[in-house]
Each structure stands twice: as structure tokens, then as C-alpha cells.
């Protein structure tokens, strides 16, 4: 009895090309934003291109343009503002504009969609317009906010929790 095995070095795809999955989404988990500029443990600013948080004391002319998320909180009100807003104090050198939709209807984007999102397909189809500093309260989480930074990258922020010191969010943004 003769048994023969043979192997082929190239995979035969039957005339079809192998599919390549392109990563189009960056995810940041459990990002903390300080509720006060006096807070020393947490930062109020974040760069989605670097994946880095910045405290007020860490902002310089060299990193200011990279910051695209800025958080402000006062009694009962929480909101993200454009880093180049007059409401940001101290002012961020070289700051750029970010648009925010902080009151997002469930018909536009849901927490379940955020959780399931693994590519930027859903974000790419959205039109994001600034809602002029609408605020979101300090209860009723999770909720989703949308943003578009100066580089044209669209993103979603899932607000998960808040306490007297910090806001905890997950962020998904186009690569």
C-alpha cells in the first residue's frame, strides 16, 4: 500500500482575493476627566490622536493643538467644550475646534450601538453639528455624546459614571 501526501505552498482562493480588514477605529476605555480645575489626580483635557490626558499644568504650546476634548463641570451641569472655547481656562495655546452633540437622541446613536461598534462605519455616516454647549446632567448614565475634531475625525463618547471628583468615559474615534 502506498500513501502519498502533498502540500501546496500557496493557498488557492478560487480566483478571489484574500480580504484584508482595515482598522478604522481607536478605542479608549475608562478615561477619567476631572470635574474641577483644582483636581490634582485627574485631567480635564484629552488628545484622541495621542490617547493621552492632560492636566491644566501639563498644557504647553507644543501639545495644545493635539488636545481635542475638553471637559467642564459645575453644580449639576457637565459638558464638553471645544478646546479653543473662551470657556476653557486657562486658554490652550494652539487650540483647535471640536464640535459636540451632547444631546443625542436614541434614533441617532445608542449606547448599544456604541458598545457593538468595531469599525468607523456608523460614525462615517453621521452628520455632527455643534449643539452650542448643551449640557448633560449628573445622573442617568450611560449616555452617548458625539464629536468631530478639527482633523475631521468623528467620535463617540460613552459617559459611564460620575462622582464628585471625576467623570468616567469610553471613547471611540475614527483612526
Is residue 10's pLDDT more than 50? no
Could you give the number of structural domains in the chain? 1
Q: Which domain holds residue 122?
A: 25-174
Examine residue 47 and state whether it is found in any structural domain, yes or no.
yes
Indicate whether 122 belongs to any domain. Answer: yes
What sign results for the dihedral spanned by CA atoms 109, 113, 118, 121? negative
Query: CA separation (Å) from 9 to 5, 6, 12, 14, 128?
Result: 13, 10, 9, 15, 49
Contact 26, 50 (CB under 8 A): no
pLDDT tens column, 49-72: 999 999 999 999 999 999 999 999
Is residue 4 in a domain? no
Distance of CA 49 to the CA centre of its chain: 10
CA atoms within 13 A on the CB side of 41: 7
| pLDDT tens sequence across 82-132 | 999 998 988 999 999 999 999 888 889 999 999 999 999 999 999 999 887
**How many Cβ atoms from other residues are within 10 Å of residue 163's Cβ?**
9
Does a structural domain hold residue 108? Answer: yes
Amino acid at each position: 500500500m502506498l500513501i502519498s501526501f502533498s502540500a501546496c505552498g500557496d493557498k488557492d482562493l478560487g480566483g478571489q482575493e484574500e480580504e484584508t480588514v482595515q482598522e478604522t477605529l481607536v478605542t479608549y476605555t475608562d478615561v477619567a476627566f476631572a470635574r474641577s480645575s483644582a483636581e490634582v489626580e485627574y485631567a480635564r483635557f484629552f488628545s484622541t490622536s495621542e490617547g493621552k490626558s492632560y492636566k491644566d499644568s501639563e498644557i504647553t504650546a507644543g501639545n495644545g493643538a493635539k488636545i481635542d476634548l475638553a471637559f467642564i463641570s459645575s453644580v449639576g451641569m457637565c459638558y464638553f467644550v471645544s478646546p479653543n472655547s473662551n470657556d476653557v481656562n486657562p486658554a490652550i495655546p494652539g487650540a483647535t475646534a471640536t464640535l459636540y452633540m451632547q444631546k443625542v437622541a436614541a434614533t441617532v446613536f445608542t449606547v448599544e450601538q456604541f458598545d457593538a461598534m468595531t469599525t468607523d462605519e456608523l460614525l462615517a455616516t453621521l452628520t455632527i453639528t455643534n449643539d452650542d454647549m448643551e449640557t448633560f446632567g449628573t445622573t442617568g448614565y450611560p449616555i452617548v455624546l458625539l464629536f468631530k475634531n478639527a482633523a475631521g475625525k468623528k467620535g463617540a463618547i460613552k459617559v459611564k459614571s460620575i462622582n464628585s471628583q471625576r467623570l468616567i468615559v469610553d471613547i471611540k474615534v475614527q483612526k
